[in-house]
């Protein structure tokens, strides 16, 4: 279940942290599948279904995020790319 969290000061910090933590947990599945020999194309599809969908949830609402929160979300995407492509 995905919720939307808005702080009393109408900032998105709590929501971004929630989304980050949820997506971060799903990276473990991606690592496991990579080790199991799943193809890159399938890993990309799995990433889109399991992780990107979480990262983009309610994104039209918080599209004007401060850079530090946007970078927080971007870091998950970069980590997923490193897992999928096997880059250290």
Q: How confident is the model at residue 68 (pLDDT cuts 50, 70, 90)?
A: confident
pLDDT, residue 27, reads 94
3 in a domain, yes or no? no
Nearest to 6, CA basis, from 58, 76, 77, 74: 58
> What is the extent of the structural domain holding 40?
13-85
pTM for this entry: 0.79
4 in any annotated domain: no
- What distance in Å separates the CA atoms of residue 48 and residue 7, rounded to the nearest whole number? 28
Q: What is the dihedral of CA 8, 58, 77, 15, to 10 degrees?
A: 20
User: What tens digit of pLDDT does each residue of 17-60 get?
Assistant: 888 898 999 999 999 999 999 999 999 999 999 999 888 876 76
pLDDT of residue 18: 85
Q: Is residue 5 part of a domain?
A: no
Is 28 part of any domain?
yes
Domain assignment present for residue 68? The answer is yes
pLDDT at position 2, please? 55
As for how many domains the chain has, the answer is 1
């Amino acid at each position: 279940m995905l919720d939307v969290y808005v702080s009393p000061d109408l900032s998105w910090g709590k929501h971004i942290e929630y989304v980050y933590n949820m997506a971060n947990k799903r990276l473990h599945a991606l690592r496991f599948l990579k080790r199991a020999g799943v193809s890159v194309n399938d890993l990309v599809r799995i990433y889109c279904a399991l992780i990107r969908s979480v990262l983009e949830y309610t994104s039209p609402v918080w599209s004007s995020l401060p850079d530090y929160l946007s970078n927080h979300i971007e870091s998950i995407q970069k980590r997923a790319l490193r897992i999928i492509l096997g880059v250290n």
